[in-house]
Amino acid sequence: MNIKDVETKTGLTKRMIRHYEEFGLLSPQRAQKVRTYALLGRTASICRSSASAQAFK
């Protein structure tokens, strides 16, 4: 799935997703210049945790 799909499914912004990538929390597969995300395991957990935290703001 692409970053737009991750935004839609998790409620995270592109900026937050990229931020997690910079810190090594998310590591999408890359094919040429396209990043592909899999909402499995650690990635799904991070996204759920972040989305839950944002709900309390």
Distance between CA atoms of 29 and 24, rounded to whole angstroms? 13
Taking the complete model, does pTM exceed 0.95, yes or no?
A: no
Per-residue pLDDT tens digits for 3-56: 888 888 878 889 988 888 898 888 888 888 888 877 656 666 666 666 555 554
C-beta atoms surrounding 57 within 10 Å: 4
The pLDDT, as a whole number, for residue 15 is 92
Range of the domain at 25: 3-55
Q: Torsion angle of alpha carbons 14, 18, 21, 25, nearest 10°?
A: -50
Q: Find how far residue 33's CA is from the centre of its chain.
A: 17
